[in-house]
């Protein structure tokens, strides 16, 4: 079963959820703002995704801009970035989907087809 970190008010998350439902993929939804992944989980997701840590930030989010995150994470280590992300689910790019081995961040239909079918 997949773990699906999402924010119900997020349009991209709704599209991803609809895709998973339409393809009858089993998942456990986790509200990313009410229950953000902890630092260790984020580090593990980063490592398994093979993506740079900065890709886990919701750069188009209001909170990201308000907190001037671009400056704050410019020289941050992966560990420091994971700590920042764990502190506020609104800073995390979503949805994040994982089966424990593979990880996708955001929603691209091709990626979902490749990883979750």
CATH code for the domain in which residue 71 is found:
3.40.30.10
Provide the pLDDT for residue 100: 95
pLDDT tens-digit map of 57-108: 999 999 999 999 999 999 999 999 999 999 999 999 999 999 999 999 999 9
Total structural domains in the chain? 1
Answer for the pair 30, 5: CB distance below 8 angstroms, yes or no.
yes
Range of the domain at 104: 2-116
Provide the pLDDT for residue 52: 94
% of the chain at pLDDT higher than 90: 100
Provide the pLDDT for residue 87: 96
Q: At 48, is the pLDDT very low, low, confident or very high (cuts 50, 70, 90)?
A: very high
Residue 65 and residue 41: Cα distance in Å, rounded? 24
CA dist 22 → 9, 25, 109, 117 (Å): 19, 8, 12, 11
Q: At 29, is the pLDDT very low, low, confident or very high (cuts 50, 70, 90)?
A: very high
Residue 92 and residue 61: Cα distance in Å, rounded? 9
């Amino acid at each position: 079963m997949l773990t699906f970190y999402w924010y119900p008010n997020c349009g991209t998350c709704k599209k991803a959820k609809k895709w998973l439902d339409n393809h009858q993929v089993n998942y456990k939804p986790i509200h990313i703002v009410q229950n953000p992944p902890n630092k260790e989980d984020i580090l593990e997701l980063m490592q398994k995704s093979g993506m740079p840590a900065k890709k886990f930030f919701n750069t188009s989010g209001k909170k990201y801009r308000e907190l001037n995150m671009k400056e704050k994470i410019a020289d941050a280590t992966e560990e420091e970035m994971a700590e920042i992300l764990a502190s506020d689910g609104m800073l995390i790019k979503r949805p994040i989907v994982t089966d424990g081995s593979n990880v996708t961040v955001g929603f691209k239909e091709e990626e979902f087809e490749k990883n979750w079918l």
